[in-house]
Amino acid sequence: MSLPRVTVWNEFRHEKTDPAVQAVYPDGIQVAIAAFLQKAGFPARTATLDEPEHGLTEAVLAETDVLTWWGHMAHGDVKDEIAARVQKRVLEGMGLIVLHSGHMSKPFMRLMGTGCDLKWREAGENERIWVVEPGHPIADGLPEHFDLPHEEMYGERFDIPAPDQLVFISWFKGGDVFRSGCCWTRGAGKIFYFRPGHETFPTYYQSEIQQVIINAAKWAAPGNLPNVTFGQKRIPLEKLD
């Protein structure tokens, strides 16, 4: 099976204005993510908020098997029309990987139907990610737990629909826990939310994090989908009396 075509979307605002972020991701988070995907053999391109149509034209989405989404300070700048377009493509089968602060992005919130809020704290504390579903494809090749030395804390209650599969739970030194790797199917599309990735930490350079995103991109790729029809069916398949 050939690897899915991934479009790596990033808000790409912090990187333009905040030296602390520039120091970690000088070319933007999207470039860091696309780089390790390309190295792993994925046809990966990038798209960002300030491009026309946020870089997510109908043509781009039509050629995208899996979309990754990082956004934070400018969720409100994403046009409703583009958010609806992404939602529609997910329902048609495109995979969606929502990263970190993307939990409050328009496409994710539309697909979840819930508030998607959580607790947070920027103290650079230690995060430990535990694999709770070792047989899941997204846990492939991981250790049973791994640490991120410094991360923003996200804590429960995370206001999401109960995930179809819960793959990871995070432990934080400050006393919090979080469902940090969550899978859902919506329409024909697969969605994975992955917690880590604060913009001031080198999270996307860490090998386990890269492994998770690579696994998730493979898992979320659509196959050869059944042709589902909707609407009125005047003629029944079986004879009525």
Contacts of 141 (CB under 8 A, 6+ apart): 211, 215
Binding span for a copy of itself by CB under 8 A among 66-74, 77-85, 148-156, 199-207: 148-156
Binding span for a copy of itself by CB under 8 A among 7-15, 30-38, 119-127, 195-203: 119-127
Name which position in 27, 115, 149, 205 contacts a copy of itself (CB under 8 A).
115
Binding span for a copy of itself by CB under 8 A among 4-12, 55-63, 149-157, 196-204: 149-157
How many chain residues interact with a copy of itself (CB under 8 A)? 79
Name which position in 110, 200, 202, 206 contacts a copy of itself (CB under 8 A).
110
* Amino acid present at 92: E
Q: How many other β-carbons are positioned within 10 Å of the β-carbon of residue 135?
A: 9
CB 5 within 8 A of CB 66: yes
Q: Does 79 bind a copy of itself (CB under 8 A)?
A: no
CB 71 within 8 A of CB 193: no
- 16, 169, 207 from 28: Cα distances, Å: 8, 27, 18
Interface mask toward a copy of itself for 197-226; x: CB under 8 A: -------------------------xxxxx
- What's the min distance (Å) between Cβ of 104 and a copy of itself? 11
Where b means 16+ CB within 10 Å and e means fewer, 81-118 reads ebbebbbebbeebbbbbbbbbbbbbbbbbbbbeeebeb
CB 196 within 8 A of CB 148: yes
Nearer to a copy of itself, 52 or 230 (CB): 230
Q: Report d(CA 105, CA 72) in Å as an integer.
A: 8
Name which position in 40, 60, 74, 155 contacts a copy of itself (CB under 8 A).
155
Interface mask toward a copy of itself for 162-191; x: CB under 8 A: x-xxx--xxxxxxxxx-x----xxxxxxx-
Name which position in 153, 212, 213, 216 contacts a copy of itself (CB under 8 A).
153
